[in-house]
Amino acid sequence: MTDRDWDAELKKIDAEMAKQASRPAPAPSRATAPAPAAQPSAPTGGMAGGMAGFGMPSAPATSNFGVYARLTLAVAIGVGIIFWPYANRCGMGLAGYLGAVGAVVVSGAWSAVWTFRHRAGRAHVLALLLVLWGLILASLDVLPRIGYAEPTVEHPAAWACE
């Protein structure tokens, strides 16, 4: 256990919060950028860790439109990969297909980061499912070729065409 007196620490935090609340907020100036507020010295964990003004960053200033636009683009790529029009059994066709599947995974991860930052829970789950979808598609073609899965007619064991 620690030798810290948490009641005293919390009283300090309460006093600092009361001092901050009693000060009027300065009017924002259009000519200059706002100066960052002085950070009070408080523990970063525990109850004070999640409060604004105690070292935790606030939500980004971008809009939700950008988040959902990224997610829509990623979902369009994930659905579009189903309709891949080129031969992808071997050779350059396979390389192009695996590159497009990599784009599905990257776009899903890109969307997952943005949805997480903007606290969009359902959209984040969709983005993670999109990453999983891309990994499944990649594994269908890679695993038979490295000897881990049973080769089939659609997914042969050879990387190059004969």
- Reduce the DSSP state of residue 52 to 3 states and report it: strand
Whether the Cβ atoms of residue 107 and residue 73 lie closer than 8 Å to each other: yes
8 Å CB contact between 74 and 110: yes
Tell me the C-alpha distance between 69 and 90, whole Å. 34
**Among 110, 152, 151, 116, residue whose Cα is nearest residue 131:** 110
Alpha-carbon Rg for the chain, nearest whole angstrom, is 26
Per-residue pLDDT tens, the chain, 162 aa: give them. Answer: 568 888 898 999 888 888 887 777 666 666 555 555 555 554 555 444 455 555 655 555 567 888 899 999 999 999 999 999 888 888 899 999 999 999 999 999 999 999 999 999 999 999 999 999 999 999 998 999 888 888 887 777 888 887
CA distance 72 to 78: 10
What local confidence, expressed as pLDDT, does residue 48 receive? 46
**Whether 140 contacts 155, CB under 8 Å:** yes
